[in-house]
Amino acid sequence: MTMTTSNPAPANPGPLRDIRVLELGQLLAGPFCGQLLGDMGADVIKVEPPVTGDPMRDWGLGTEKVQWEVIARNKRSVSANLRVPEGQALVKRLIAHADVLIENFKPGTMEKWGLGPDVLLAAKPNLIIARMSGYGQTGPYSNRAGFGGIGEAMGGWRYIVGEPDRAPSRMGVSIGDTLTATYGCMGVLAALHERERTGRGQVIDAALYESVLQVMEGLVPEYDRTGYIRERSGSVLKGIAPSNVYKCKDGEFMIGANKDSLWKRLANAMGRPELGDDPRYATHLARGENQDELDELINDWTRTLTIDEVDALMIEHSIPAGRVYRAPDMLADPHFQAREAIIEVETERFGPLKMQSSFPKLSATPGSVRRPAPSKVGQHNAEVYGELLGLGEAELAQMAEQGVI
């Protein structure tokens, strides 16, 4: 799929095509929530500080910072100075035209600006407010500053990631922020459904540490019941075997045969069917107890083969397995291409740019990328402020001169 900025925006088949979202957040959690809603068809209006804009415009790796092109797609940019009363009043007028408000400021900031939920819901009872923060809007830590990495540490993620003999590691992406945004998006969708029944809006309180905690599987109940504390285990998940990245002649390959029937298939694929019934490996618990020995046994086998040879055997025996992909591998893979998992967007700053598509895929009302990320702060001031608030060119020019927009 390729889109251009010179043509009218493509038709919007998304399920949220009648929903307007006002995004006040910066950097990652709030804006990623806005991206998810925008991909599903919502009209997302992003409010940025005048001149400087969202710091995310300059984030990313490589010589050119292109991460903005993903997280700000399907959004219109307006500028407003929320630190002055005139900017706060302007945004409050915009909120009156929104179904959903997203913010990820430090708790208390919106209240300080006169934009707290009590004020907004009194004026617009059907408004849905998604709030993302480090520790949530209540509790003894609520007024502390919090970024994704802090939530990952408090929620249990960081402690269990990495090698056992080294300090806790992090993932190569900001998983705490994106998890929180995803839960915030889920909350918005649930609140929209509830509003259909009652006509009432509500507040979604998504905390970074709780979003991480939600995916920690049995970490808490295991400790509560048996005193077991999960530790760092490198590339494996302790007790789940075989499930690891194994070395081949020409690289690394992931095999996940951590089920009794799958293990027997893998033993056959290895040309050693007797291992399938070996009491050291025949059951889930036995494989977990002998995990290191089993991994070495499999590594001894994969080292004699190329990735293509192991891959062919895994397909033949229907064993979950796959290559460890980097970006160039994704772009070359026919499955990515067949499902249009990676699309090409005609961006305003960089021209054609490949990026991930909208997920998940809906059969009747699919998500889409209908407009590229706005290249300028306040790019849609005239359009949005004129369309929703009836402000003309002279009024906007005066506001710009006063530092309001």
- Residue 272: in which H helix or E strand, if any? none
Q: CB neighbours (10 Å) of residue 53? A: 21
**CA neighbor of 256 nearest in space, from 324, 309, 304, 305:** 324
Spatial distance between the Cα atoms of 352 and 338, rounded to a whole number of angstroms: 19
Tokens of 228: 């077991």
Provide Rg for the chain, Cα atoms.
Answer: 25
Q: Which residue has the tokens 């070996």?
A: 278
Residue 280, Ramachandran bin (φ over 0: left; ψ between -120 and 50: alpha; else beta)? alpha
Residue 314: φ, ψ to 5°: -65, -40
Q: What is the 3-state secondary structure (H, E, C) of 118-144?
A: HHHHHHCCCCEEEEEECCCCCCCCCCC
Spatial distance between the Cα atoms of 57 and 31, rounded to a whole number of angstroms: 11
Q: Which residues have a Cβ under 8 Å from the Cβ of 158 and sit 6 or more positions away?
A: 149, 152, 168, 169, 170
DSSP state at residue 361: P
8 Å CB contact between 27 and 56: yes
**CA neighbor of 36 nearest in space, from 77, 1, 76, 73:** 73
Q: Which residues have a Cβ under 8 Å from the Cβ of 270 and sit 6 or more positions away?
A: 298, 301
Q: How far is CA 124 from CA 93, 148, 290, in A?
A: 11, 31, 61
Spatial distance between the Cα atoms of 45 and 86, rounded to a whole number of angstroms: 19
Indicate if 300 belongs to the active site: no
State the catalytic residue, choosing from 43, 177, 205, 295. Answer: 177
Q: How far is CA 71 from CA 28, 29, 74, 316, in A?
A: 8, 10, 9, 39
Tokens of 204: 């979604």
Q: Which residue has the tokens 């959690």?
A: 29
The alpha carbon of residue 74 and the mean position of all alpha carbons in its chain are separated, in whole angstroms, by 16
Amino acid at 360: P
Residues forming the active site: 177
